[in-house]
Amino acid sequence: VRVPFALLKKNASAATRAFVSHQLLMASLPAYVAEDKRYDYVWVIEEDAKLAQGSWDQLFRKFNSSQADLIAHIRRTRNGMAALLPVARLSTRLIRAIRRDLARIDNRERGAPRRRIHGAFSYQLCRGRSWCATEAIPREWLPPPRPQ
């Protein structure tokens, strides 16, 4: 899915604009991906993402049978634990939960998350749901993250 950043920034909700700074691909997934019953999981891979070792085929095979809702490089940041999403697999139920929480934030609903939206958002949302499981892509498979 390719969505020009300027167009997304112009037409997006406030929550999506904030979310986009760290998770452009996640936020730009078409709604049908989350709603279509044919999809259980979606791999989100930035076009410039690289593996430090192994091949894409090995990565996909390693996690093919995983039931985890979020598979990503998980690490501690200044905002707490975060899932870095240059290469990640998300379940469609997690994508729906993210979309619901972003809508609640954008509508300023009572009880909506109040914290800033940053790279830890998807991970923290998942960890806060009893149904949501995470699995880490081994650190050695991915190059060091780019400085923010």
Contact by Cβ (8 Å): 120, 82: yes
What per-residue confidence (pLDDT) applies to 81?
83
What per-residue confidence (pLDDT) applies to 69?
95
Integer-rounded Cα Rg, in Å, for the chain is 15
Instruction: Tell me the pLDDT band of 17, cut-offs 50, 70 and 90.
Output: very low
Q: What is the pLDDT of residues 45-95, one digit of tens each?
A: 877 788 888 888 899 999 999 999 999 988 887 777 888 778 889 898 888
Query: Could you report how far apart the first and last alpha carbons of the chain are, in Å?
Result: 24
- The answer, yes or no, to whether residue 16 has pLDDT greater than 70, is no
Task: Select the more confidently predicted residue: 35 or 87.
Answer: 87
Query: Which range among 8-12, 64-68, 75-79, 110-114 shows the weakest confidence by mean pLDDT?
Result: 8-12
Q: What is the pLDDT of residues 116-127, one digit of tens each?
A: 555 567 888 888
pTM across the whole model: 0.74
Residue at 77: amino acid letter: T
Chain center to CA of 14:
18
The 3-state DSSP class for residue 8 equals helix
